[in-house]
Structure 1
């Protein structure tokens, strides 16, 4: 009898503790949300703040969606809201990698900014980092010629053909459907790969890519 009572008490304590942890996690998430919105309101106009608010709603509402749906939601979100603009026009610099908050707040970005924003968004939605790679390519653009470009590649499995999320296309396509793109190298938060190199990935890409290290530092400061 006493043992049964003790077990019941332990179960009650366990459930109470678990509920407390959940409530603390929810409170922390709300605090982060409020901090991001406050930061947006300090920096950007009404449209920029609304973009960031809608993005936060997307992350919250689609966390349980299928991964292919997450790709579509994220690709459409940024391709429809962000206007392609050069770094020189936005930042008066030849090359600047913006954080997702900066891109959404200013409603402008170049190919790196689109790709980084989609990468971070999918990570926030629970997609495994090993499935995502920011990929530098040579892009053959009609009327322009070949130029450096960045896309986001999604690998359903380690050995599968990647799907390409690109600000130049509203459609997500397999890599073989994009003969206009010639891969050069790719990276994520865990490693760096050189196209055609079958060896293992190079660890800590931030030590090789100063702009990647810089944008990671700024994202951390923003609360991402």
Structure 2
């Protein structure tokens, strides 16, 4: 079976520009302090409301997507909710096999069709919410990574272990996005990739070269053979910021 090619990711802020911007800042001033405060409140609300979680999907949102994407979207979203509930129940009874959990989440989402943003949404860059991805029956590498990130968060995995990671896919010679899971600080991460169901250590994925990674808390720039360097808040990523705003709006349906 042929593997679909991941589309190029067009960066809105290149890593060197992000670093330069971070180095130029001398202090946020009162406006910057207010923005940081607002961001902190937003992150806290996101955690308390369970943004992006299957259990947070409202009936109104399900019906909205059924009208937009067809009645089968109800089945797909319901299957996602049932999957998370069943995995959560199994985790409570199990001894905590992280690799098994990661494999289950990776395989569940990888069953969805791979579709480029241009084909699926008529846009060059579009980050769908997990419910939107399930409802519309497909997504690209960013959507797969984001959906897995929120699913593992909902299942209780600490966010410091999870990083959505922008990489260069060497064999494809193009940009790609995966989810990295760190079993411990500084450990070699395990990679959840829509291009393969097997969850393998990054040390076995020489075909992927990290560029930057982020989660709810921060943005890190990768440096080959060295420790990653902080580039500030992940809110600098416009599409990520837009996705969080979309998730807040989904709660209102």
Q: TM-score, normalised by structure 2?
A: 0.70
Call closer, same or farther: CA 1:32–1:138 in 2, change over 3 Å. closer
Say yes or no: does 1:177 pair with 2:204: yes
1:159 and 1:31 map into 2 onto residues whose CA distance is 32
Instruction: Show structure 1 runs of 5+ residues with no match.
Output: 1-28
Q: Which digits, 9 at most, give the CA deviation of each residue in 1:82-124, with x for residues without a partner?
A: 1111101111111111111111111111100110011111111
Change (3 A) 1:169 1:31: closer
Residue 168 of structure 1 and its aligned partner are, at CA, apart by 0.6
- Shifted more, 196-205 versus 147-156: the winner is 196-205
C-alpha deviation, 1:39, in angstroms: 4.0
Structure 1 residue 205 and structure 2 residue 234: aligned? yes
Q: 1:33: how far off?
A: 5.2
Deviation digits for residues 104-163 of structure 1 (CA, Å, limit 9, x no counterpart): 11111110011001111111111111010000000023xxx4100000000011111100
More off after superposition, 130-139 vs 91-100: 91-100
Distance verdict in 2 for CA 1:182–1:44, change over 3 Å:
same
1:118 equivalent in structure 2: 148
Structure 2: 5+ residue stretches without partners: 1-53
The question of 1:60 aligning with 2:85 is answered yes
> Which has the higher Rg, Structure 1 or Structure 2?
1
SS of residue paired to 1:105? helix
2:184 pairs with 1:164: no
**CA separation of 1:49/1:188 partners in 2, compared to 1, >3 Å: closer, same or farther?**
same
Question: In 2, distance between residues paired with 1:124 and 1:68?
Answer: 16
- How many residues get paired? 191
Question: What's the CA shift for 1:32?
Answer: 5.2
CA contact (8 A) 1:37 1:53 kept: no
Q: Aligned in 2, Cα 1:32/1:100: closer, same or farther, shift over 3 Å?
A: closer
RMSD after superposition: 2.2
- Partner secondary structure for residue 69 of structure 1: helix
1:60 CA drift (Å): 1.6
CA distance in 2, matches of 1:192, 1:31: 26
Check whether the contact 1:33–1:56 (CA below 8 A) recurs between aligned residues: no
The residue aligned with 1:9 is: none
TM-superposition CA deviations, 1:176-206 (whole Å, max 9, x none): 1110000000000111110026366344211
CA separation in 2, counterparts of 1:116 and 1:147?
A: 19
Q: Secondary structure at the match of 1:83?
A: coil
Where 1:84 maps in the other structure, the secondary structure is coil
Moved over 2 A (4+): 29-44, 66-70, 197-204
The 10-residue stretch of structure 1 (62-71 or 103-112) with the greater mean CA deviation from structure 2? 62-71
Aligned to 1:50: 75
